[in-house]
């Protein structure tokens, strides 16, 4: 497999910035393990069956690139992947882990960030942002920038859910952010917004619509078309501004 060095290189350059390789084979574990060892492979190797079939690939190797939400953004032969393409995909991701060597007073901040405790990282960094030592100050600003980027990524996701009116998703996102940013002003804000969303009528409507649609869906193909259409239209009418209501309206068109 002449593609291995290329993938090792991509892994070395981009893994810590949020780029993960999932290289799937369905051969037996012993064969895969020997190959991984012999070639010194350091990227993710997975044993799983039927993936080529599920993805409709035409042969080995085939590749797909998925974005942070699992959507396909590229497909092709892995040899066609360039550094510039990967750079473009990861440029807006906050680093998963900070690996840069920082001044020892900021070690706690970096450690907290790397554990996903961004609120704690933020309060650690805050202590050194106005340090008189220019090295400490610069490192503090660097880590602060990383946290800021991570916060922006979360806010962009929340904004998308807000635009779509997907309140259950928004509440879930905000709760996760509140936990990750626990101890900071941002975390507090996220927690409060999640709470007020969950208390709203709109949120309750979303949940109700989803639960009715979930109940209806498994039965729908056994129903008479006319009845199925009516049931879907009722959900769409009762809950017009919810994701499940909109989905029901779309589904009703097929009957």
Partner 1 sequence: MTKTWSMALLAALAVFATALPAIEVGDSGPDFKFDKSWNALEGATKLSDYRERVVLLEVWATW
Contacts with partner 1 in 71-90 (CB under 8 A)?
Answer: 71-75, 78, 81, 86, 89-90
Q: Assess 113 for contact with partner 1 (CB under 8 A).
A: no
Q: Assess 52 for contact with partner 1 (CB under 8 A).
A: yes
CA atoms within 13 A on the CB side of 31: 6
Q: Assess 44 for contact with partner 1 (CB under 8 A).
A: yes
**Helix or strand (DSSP H, E) at 34:** helix 29-39
If the CB atoms of residues 78 and 191 are measured against partner 1, the closer one turns out to be 78
CB 243 within 8 A of CB 166: yes
**Helix or strand (DSSP H, E) at 44:** strand 44-47
Question: Whole-angstrom Cα distance, residue 174 to residue 158?
Answer: 7
Q: Assess 32 for contact with partner 1 (CB under 8 A).
A: yes
Question: Closest approach of Cβ 186 to partner 1, in Å?
Answer: 18
Q: Assess 33 for contact with partner 1 (CB under 8 A).
A: yes
Sole window of 22-30, 107-115, 164-172, 210-218 interacting with partner 1 (rule: CB under 8 A): 22-30
Q: Assess 51 for contact with partner 1 (CB under 8 A).
A: yes
CB 240 within 8 A of CB 209: no
If the CB atoms of residues 31 and 241 are measured against partner 1, the closer one turns out to be 31
Question: Whole-angstrom Cα distance, residue 159 to residue 21?
Answer: 28
Candidates 253, 235, 252; CA nearest to 244 is 235
Question: Whole-angstrom Cα distance, residue 157 to residue 153?
Answer: 6
Q: Is the dihedral of CA 203, 206, 212, 215 positive or negative?
A: negative
Question: Closest approach of Cβ 126 to partner 1, in Å?
Answer: 25
Contacts with partner 1 in 179-218 (CB under 8 A)?
Answer: none
Enumerate the β-bridge partners of residue 18: none
Q: Assess 8 for contact with partner 1 (CB under 8 A).
A: no
Select from 12, 47, 82, 225 the one that contacts partner 1 (CB under 8 A).
47
Question: Whole-angstrom Cα distance, residue 42 to residue 44?
Answer: 7
If the CB atoms of residues 57 and 183 are measured against partner 1, the closer one turns out to be 57
Binding site for partner 1 (CB under 8 A): 1, 3, 7, 10, 18-25, 27, 29, 31-33, 35-36, 41-58, 60-75, 78, 81, 86, 89-90, 93, 96
């Amino acid at each position: 497999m002449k593609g291995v060095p290329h993938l090792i290189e991509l892994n070395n350059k981009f893994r810590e910035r949020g780029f993960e390789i999932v290289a799937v084979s369905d051969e037996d574990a012993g064969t895969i393990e020997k190959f991984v060892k012999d070639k010194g492979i350091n990227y993710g190797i997975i044993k799983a069956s039927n993936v080529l079939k599920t993805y409709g690939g035409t042969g080995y190797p085939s590749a797909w690139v998925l974005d942070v939400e699992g959507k396909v953004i590229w497909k092709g032969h892995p040899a066609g992947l360039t550094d510039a393409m990967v750079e473009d995909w990861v440029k807006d991701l906050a680093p998963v882990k900070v690996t840069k060597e920082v001044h020892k007073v900021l070690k706690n901040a970096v450690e907290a960030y790397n554990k996903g405790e961004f609120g704690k990282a933020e309060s650690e960094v805050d202590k050194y942002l106005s340090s008189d030592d220019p090295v400490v100050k610069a490192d503090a600003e660097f880590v602060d920038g990383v946290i800021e980027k991570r916060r922006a990524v979360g806010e962009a996701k929340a904004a998308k859910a807000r635009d779509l009116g997907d309140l259950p998703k928004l509440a879930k996102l905000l709760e996760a952010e509140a936990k990750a940013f626990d101890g900071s002003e941002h975390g507090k804000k996220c927690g409060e917004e999640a709470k007020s969303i969950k208390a709203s009528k709109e949120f309750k409507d979303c949940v109700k619509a989803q639960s009715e649609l979930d109940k209806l869906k498994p039965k729908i193909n056994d129903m008479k078309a006319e009845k199925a259409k009516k049931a879907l239209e009722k959900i769409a009418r009762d809950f017009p501004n919810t994701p499940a209501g909109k989905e029901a309206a779309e589904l009703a068109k097929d009957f």
